[in-house]
Chain A
C-alpha cells in the first residue's frame, strides 16, 4: 500500500518566519510528487516535482524532491498571515496505467500569527 507521511502535523509561527514542511513517501511506482495548499475548500495546486534535486520556485515558496531519500520539502520564507492553510503532499503511482491514483499525506496545518 502506498504511504505518504508529512511532518510536522501542525506548526505555529509569526509573520516573517521561515518554515520548512516535510513529506516522505513509499510507493510501488513513483511518477510525481505534488504539493497543494488548502485554505477553505478546494485544494489549490502549488508544485509538481518529478526530478530529484531540481528546485521549483514560486515567489516565497519553493520545493525540492530527493528521490534517494524518498522525500520532499516545501519552504516558505517571510511568512504572511495569508500563508495560513493546510499544506498537502501527494504522490502519484501510475500502477501501470496512464493515471493510477494520487495518495495524500495527512497534511500540515500552518498558522501564521501577525
Chain B
C-alpha cells in the first residue's frame, strides 16, 4: 500500500549528538514537509521541499538540516545546535499538479528524546 514511512518511531540521544530521522514515501508526491510538535501544541514547519534537489526553510529551521536527493526521500537531521530537540517530528507529503489545494498526508511520526 502507498504511504509515508518514518523511522525510527522512538529515538533517545545524548545532548550534543546529531540525529537523522528518515522519511520515505511511495505516493509519487512532489512536495514533502517536516513539522515539529511539542506536547499539547500544533505543528510548526521546519523545512519543506517542492522538487528534488530543492528545499526551503520553514518557520523554525535553526538547528535542523535536510536533503532531497531523491523524490521518495526527505531525511531530517537534528543537529547539536538545536537548543530544544526533544519533540515529536512529523513528515508529510502533498499531491502533485496544478490546483492542488493542500491536503497533506502524514507519516506516523518520530518521537525524539534528548537526555
* Residues of chain A at the chain B interface (Cβ within 8 Å): 1, 4, 6, 10, 31-32, 34, 41-43, 45, 48, 50, 86, 88, 90, 92, 97-99, 101-107, 109
Contacts and interface: CB of A to CB of B under 8 A. Distances in A.
A104 B41 CA distance: 10
B86 interface: no
A42 B41 contact: no
Contacts of B94: 99, 102
Given A10-B40, A43-B43, A50-B101, 6 more contacts: A34-B102, A42-B109, A43-B106, A48-B103, A101-B58, A102-B102
Query: Which 8 A-B pairs give the minimum distances between C-beta atoms?
Result: A92-B102, A32-B101, A42-B106, A107-B42, A99-B31, A104-B43, A106-B42, A104-B42
Contacts, number: 75
How large, as a class, is the contact surface on chain B?
20 to 34
Given A1-B59, A41-B109, A42-B90, A102 B104 contact: yes
Contacts of B96: 98
Contact of B102 (A48, A86, A109): A48
A47 to B, nearest CB: 10
A92 B41 contact: no
B108 A41 contact: yes
Interface in B96-115: 96-98, 100-104, 106-109
Nearest to A44: B106
- Among A43, A45, A88, max chain B CB count under 10 A is at A43
